[in-house]
Amino acid sequence: MPNILVTGADGFIGSHLTEELVKKGYKVKAFAYYNSFNSWGWLDSLPKEIINEVDVFTGDIRDPNGVKEAMKDIDEVYHLAALIAIPFSYHSPDTYVDTNIKGTLNVLQAARDLDTSRLLITSTSEVYGTAQYVPIDENHPFQGQSPYSATKIGADRLAESFYRSFEMPITIVRPFNTYGPRQSARAVIPTIITQLLAGKEEIQLGSLTPTRDFNYVKDTANGFIKIAKASNTIGEEINIASQEEISIGQLAEEIIRQISPNAKIICDEQRLRPENSEVNRLLGSNEKIKRLTNWRPQYSFEEGLAETIEFFKQHIDKYKVDIYNI
């Protein structure tokens, strides 16, 4: 079995991916963001029998020395560490360049020096911007509609250049909107759920008309693993998508129906993105991942939502419901 490193393992998708890899019997090193609180993020919430099998390495993805140290004796790297909140990127874009572009470069350079046998670079559906056609396949043009998406486009193109220049075993993995347990309150589904569970009758949201292609986090994690195990995915950019779309308004209505049917939706001005920055439609094609691997979504939207709501019921104390989380 290969030795695997997951960067961003302390985050939402990274913690689920780490957990799934351990369950499958892999030896996993988890790269978590160093801090003086000795917090391992969402890794701290994993069952003892899982986390006891994980080698936790604390560091900073922006530091090339620490990244290289973490990657020694590693066969496969799943690189998920990134800054992801779009509103935060409006006023702090430097941190996104340092983390998303420079951090990815650090991983690529170390993999080249160490002759790492497999490298997955995590992209995002935001690199496509508003859909010019649907479903969005991997040939869709890129559009930097926020500083966040621009840095992810930059990181993807760096990864492509290392594949082409140095024949490195790289795949760019592009999840569409992932949701599920442990997601931060900056994302729309936790925003709605936490406000409802706190007993609010009026739910504060931004624009209700944009559509998104939602993937349950366990399906997303499984997609990464399937892509890493398939040799025909090297040198490819691959969407992980459900190939179904739902508007934010419809989504809110479904969650309200499940939790608090009398609640109303209120448009909050501060939550609106600048008009030319809002991605109005995302609907991804999953034809390529299905063709190259045997991945298929295992969860319906209703099933994933029910598991997500149950998680938030048990962990509502970890969320600051009364502030706008950017």
What's the pLDDT band for 323 if we cut at 50, 70, 90?
low
Q: Kindly state the DSSP code that residue 247 receives in the 8-state scheme.
A: E
- CA nearest 213: which of 247, 181, 261? 247
| Average confidence (pLDDT) over 53-72 | 98
Residue 70: band (very low, low, confident or very high) from pLDDT cuts 50, 70, 90: very high
Could you state, in order of their start, the residue ranges of all structural domains in the chain? 3-180+215-240
Confidence of residue 269 (pLDDT cuts 50, 70, 90): low
Q: Average pLDDT of 115-128?
A: 98
Look at residues 137, 211, 147 and name the one whose alpha carbon lies nearest to residue 174: 137
Q: What is the mean pLDDT of residues 35-41?
A: 96
Instruction: Please name the CATH architecture into which domain 3-180+215-240 falls.
Output: 3-Layer(aba) Sandwich (3.40)
pLDDT confidence bin for 13, thresholds 50/70/90: very high
| Structure confidence by residue, pLDDT tens digits, 180-217 | 999 998 888 998 999 999 898 888 887 888 999 999 99
| Neighbouring residues of 305: CB distance < 8 A, sequence distance ≥ 6 | 179, 189, 254, 255, 258
| Local structure of 239: helix, strand or coil | strand
On whether the CB atoms of residues 40 and 82 are closer than 8 A, the answer is no
Rounded-to-integer distance, Cα 138 and Cα 128, Å:
9
Split at pLDDT 50, 70, 90, the class of 71 is: very high
Query: Above pLDDT 90, what percent of the chain?
Result: 83
Contact 80, 14 (CB under 8 A): yes
* Cβ neighbours of residue 37 closer than 8 Å, sequence gap 6 or more: none
